[in-house]
Structure 1
């Protein structure tokens, strides 16, 4: 179907792979434009049958329990992001010369000729926070914007002008590696890759394939490719990208920035990329204290957001105002309370080792609450890098032994409490044990480095349990 916008869908046979948050809107959008839509889905449970009935009432064909066979006459496959590239359906499509698009690609192709430009963010960790910071900065500059994409807001809804979004000037777009894999023609205004660490390797097949999919975000950038100076892999992706003439590589660093970089000097966030005479000059953007919370990895997020905003022409004053106005989501390095001069911090969102490492780096003396579902992760590097900061460790969850063994190898002097339980009440016990280990000035940090589903419905529930447990400590203090 080429690589441009598609305006005539009448009679085209499109197969949508998967029900769910992106499959259902895609099927409805294409059907409304006159396409002949067939939805295929592996599952055939009560929820799937309910969703199928809704689509069938519109005249859309749905095949439940058969996501492997390519329907006859298919001219295009549109997939939900979670379907792995090695699915038989996709192998059949490739063999037949049929294009495969994701929901982001579909939104990109359906946008109008005067559509708002996209400022895009990806990375292993920090995507959502950075996109929200970016949207706050753009709003402070008087621009009409929305934080969309993998953040939970359908790009299809926004691109097609759903009423709640209105007429926007620019989009702040979070993109996952899954979405980028299925978005071959995406060409955004400017983009950032925040960091790269092993994640979702079961889906991508290798670290190289994962990095390559992240790097797709730079393809065709017009103004700036923003990379992390401390993570060479992100700069390598910029070097490999095919960008428009005049597009620049712009780095962000927690140290003193060089020309074409944003960084930190004496507690000030400064810009040496988007100014006159960047060889000699720097533009003050904000103070470190304007970033909430001012943890190192969050300052890096703020610098990346600022770089994308500056690439779009946003003035320095709006960067400061936007960062000051930004309120982080719950369970992302959220200060819960101080009890007996010990700070209790909820970073339940730290569901992998890379996120936990960033969280642990933010504090000097920590009693660490960790554990859950490891998802195939190893913990030696995390423990080795964080050992000197640990006052003590409390372990919970199914795969806690993996962390205990890494602690024995790399931090044998650190006291460890191993709670042999996976019930939700274990969190109160963990917080009580952490209180026993902590001394005045310490931080008790929930940064599990693991997923939550062995004990809790999601990381939000885990963080809520932590906050409730801390509240009980405070009540008894």
Structure 2
């Protein structure tokens, strides 16, 4: 793509349509929220934060949640809302329709609620605006001096990229935080009394679906592969939701050169006049791109001499840390994070220091141990086929541990691509038969061990089977390509069980 502005759809940062405005002027925290009748749908962490923010500004809040047996923590939240005079209504019946005893001017929904959920569908049919909690957070920013946002989405790699970005921003001396889908509700960061210089914001497709007026300084969609189709209804709608990350971007829209869909999303986005398209690639970067040249991370986008030179942002060795290698998708995430930081004006030295200081989150290609020449790697976060494929590309040969809840996803392409790398496969979880069938078609000579137990202690059997298949120099890789809830509380619990089983077989003289 040429080094030119995306000037065919300049619009600024105004909301998309009056239909989303329950009252004129609700664009900052000190606007006239008083007396607004708001229904908050869902009382998880983000829903609670939204309800508190609205109630503190004298909105009339009704908060509904399907759970009628809240945890101790949820009960404490209910008490806080009661003090703020919010009306908390628990039980599934309250989530099936709008209340008939109170008016509703606005619905603020938690990201897990699907658009076809009865209450949300009724609101849409009646012309009542529906905002996501991220949209509300954007409108709760200070009228002047609010922290700018740098936004990240993608099927995989969001959390790594946004936390890496926060590390870079902090290395440059800025007060910054990683927020959003990564864990901390954005509205809490927006209303933090100490304030931030900039926020690194992770956005899921669910959150983007309900967003309207967000205007980030820079944005990126890391990659796109089929996921959450049960929520969005189709692959097209999923793509549309992801593409909204680019809407209203002010300075730079970053896209993945190796994933042309992301570039198309940029070309179709409505952006602020003068916003640039900037690519990132694992190859040598062209003008207006970031890439890799002889193991150096190179910037040919955010320097004045980009037509004939590049700025060094770090090296692959800076990313490896103590690990013997660095996965290609990890490098891509680093380039995306660096590009967002550079768009915000962070210098090359701070980018390098932030990348050097960064340590990956748990369960994301985490080195657990090396035992008798076999490396054990935990990538329990690889909960779909796209993430597992990226993980498998980083190692060869591999004893692959896979299985769980596939959520209707197809694994044939994943298995076909991985087959030449596989020393063996150990399968666990409810949908393991689907992976076994794909292996029989595309890797018939690869030994497969099927672990039928669904008890959480089954991971001990799984690791023992993988160890028996492995040879010195191999990697035993937990990259399940599936969700974990059939056997574990979450992917973190699954990764912890893997690490525990690995360390249990570790000899007293062998290093981790």
- Asked whether the equivalents of residues 298 and 310 of structure 2 are also in contact (C-alpha less than 8 Å), the reply is yes
1:8 equivalent among 23, 32, 49: 32
| 1:174-213 equivalences in 2 (<5 Å) | 174-213=202-241
- CA-CA distance at 1:49 after TM superposition: 6.4
Deviation at 1:51, TM superposition (A): 4.8
C-alpha separation between the residues in 2 aligned to 1:119 and 1:54? 32
Distance 1:358 1:144 in 2: 32
- Greater relative contact order (Cα 8 A, min sep 6): structure 1 or 2? 2
Residue correspondence of structure 1 range 447-466 to structure 2 within 5 A: 447-466=479-498
1:189-268 equivalences under 5 Å are: 189-268=217-296
**Residue correspondences, number:** 474
Partner of 2:133: 103
Q: Which residue of 2 aligns with 1:346?
A: 378
Among 121, 127, 132, the alignment partner of 2:158 is 127
Q: Which residue among 78, 82, 88 is the counterpart of 1:62? A: 88
Do the aligned partners of residues 51 and 141 (structure 1) sit closer, same or farther apart at CA in structure 2, a change above 3 Å counting? closer
- Which residues of 2 match residues 319-338 of structure 1 at below 5 A? 319-338=351-370
Structure 1 position 34 matched with structure 2 position 19: no
Cα–Cα, structure 1 residues 402 and 11, in superposed 2: closer, same or farther, change >3 Å? same
TM superposition score normalised by structure 1 = 0.96
Does the 8 Å CA contact 1:419/1:430 hold for their aligned counterparts? Answer: yes
Q: Which residue of 1 aligns with 2:197?
A: 169
User: Do 2:26 and 2:33's aligned partners in 1 also have CA atoms closer than 8 Å?
Assistant: no
RMSD: 1.5
Distance 1:304 1:323 in 2: 12
Q: Distance in 2 between matches of 1:334 and 1:24?
A: 33
Give yes or no for contact 2:26–2:32 (8 Å, CA) kept in 1: no
Q: Deviations over 1:50-89 (max 9, x none)?
A: 6545423432112223112223421111111111011222
Contact 2:169 / 2:175 at 8 angstroms: preserved in 1? yes
1:469 CA displacement: 1.4
Contact 1:204 1:210 in 2 (8 A): yes
Query: What CA deviation, in whole Å up to 9, does each residue of 1:246-276 have, x standing for no partner?
Result: 1100011111111111011111110111112
Instruction: State the distance in 1 between where 2:366 and 2:122 align.
Output: 47
In the superposition, the TM-score normalised over structure 2's length comes to 0.90
Aligned-pair CA distance for 1:3: 7.3
Partner of 2:316: 288
Is 1:422 aligned to 2:483, yes or no? no
Residue 329 of structure 1, CA deviation: 1.1
Structure 1 residue 187: Cα displacement: 1.0
Structure-2 separation of matches of 1:177 and 1:95? 23
Compute the displacement of 1:349 (Å).
Answer: 1.1
Secondary structure in structure 2 of the residue aligned to 1:474 = coil
